[in-house]
Amino acid sequence: MDHEKSDRIRDMFNSIAESYDKLNSLMSFGQDKVWRRYVIDLADLKDGKSLLDVATGTGDIIIEALRRNKNITAAGIDFSESMLKAARERLNIKNVKLISADALAIPFNDSSFDVVTSGFLMRNVQNISEAFAEQYRVLHPGGIVICLDTTLPEKSISTPFVNLYFNFVIPLLARIISGNSSAYLYLVESMRNFKSADDLKDIMEKTGFTEVSYRKFMLGTIAVHSGKRP
């Protein structure tokens, strides 16, 4: 990732770490929990399996995984120290490793994990293909990758309401809750400039993942993609 852009994004996430969970819940009308539960449904983590959550933020995906099954090992990486600090406070248990690292240089050996997840990572990386390639590398053969992110919704009767929500509601909530509406304006812009669900599926398949599929949520603005390393 371009160092200047990387630093800007890191500073932004550091600045909103304290309000991040509350704002996510408000902005998604509480549906963020539904999406994470679906991610862990797909992961199907049995006893002894291993999970890596890339761009783990405050650790929500790992928390949901451990809520389902405490007999797994889990690790999370993020390049925002403020986010990791919040995650460490919530995940102070022995079988979770939380490491400061870039998604384009995952600090684990090849074939280290059974499942790799990410939540709202791909729209913030400079090279999506490289990010998926790193996730492919650290997966066991037969392992599962799961990507939760925004997606460009198809035009429909709900389009004006979607535009109103992203153009006005999100910045207003951000200003009230965090005092940093500019950070959330960036997140809205990153969604507008992100790939469609089909484009992301195509990138995953070109990376080498098989059985790639996705499911959309929240009027087509959220997608959960999954695939396997053969």
Q: 88: domain CATH number?
A: 3.40.50.150
Instruction: Say how far apart CA 227 and CA 91 lie, in whole Å.
Output: 27
Q: What is the mean pLDDT of the chain?
A: 86
Reported as a pLDDT band with limits 50, 70 and 90, residue 53 is very high
Q: Label residue 183 exposed, middle or buried (CB < 10 Å: 0-12, 13-18, 19+).
A: buried
- Count of domains observed in the chain: 1
User: Which structural domain range is residue 71 located in?
Assistant: 3-152+195-228
CA distance 165 to 159: 10
Q: 7 Cβ partners below 8 Å, 6+ apart?
A: none
Residue 134 resides in a domain: yes
Question: Is 183 within the bounds of a domain?
Answer: no
Local confidence band at 177 (pLDDT 50, 70, 90 cut-offs)? low
Task: Supply the pLDDT for residue 7.
Answer: 65
Residue 170 lies in a domain: no
Residue 163 lies in a domain: no
186 domain-assigned: no
Residue 29: inside a domain = yes
CA distance readout (Å), 15 to 3, 12, 155, 180: 18, 5, 33, 8
Provide the pLDDT for residue 1: 43
Task: Check whether 146 has a pLDDT greater than 60.
Answer: yes
If one counts every other C-beta atom within 10 angstroms of the C-beta of residue 63, the result is 18
Give per-residue burial for 168-179: e unless 16+ CB within 10 Å, then b: eebbebbeebbe
Domain-embedded: residue 80 = yes
Q: Is the pLDDT of residue 156 over 80?
A: no
Interval 149-163 mean pLDDT: 77
Answer whether residue 203 is part of any domain.
yes
How does DSSP classify residue 152? P
Mean pLDDT value of segment 154-174: 73
User: How would you label 64-102 residue by residue, b for 16+ Cβ within 10 Å and e otherwise?
Assistant: bbbeebeebbbbbbbbbebbbebbeeebeeeebebeebb
Q: Rounded CA gap, 146 and 24, in Å?
A: 19
DSSP-assigned beta bridge partners for residue 214 = 225
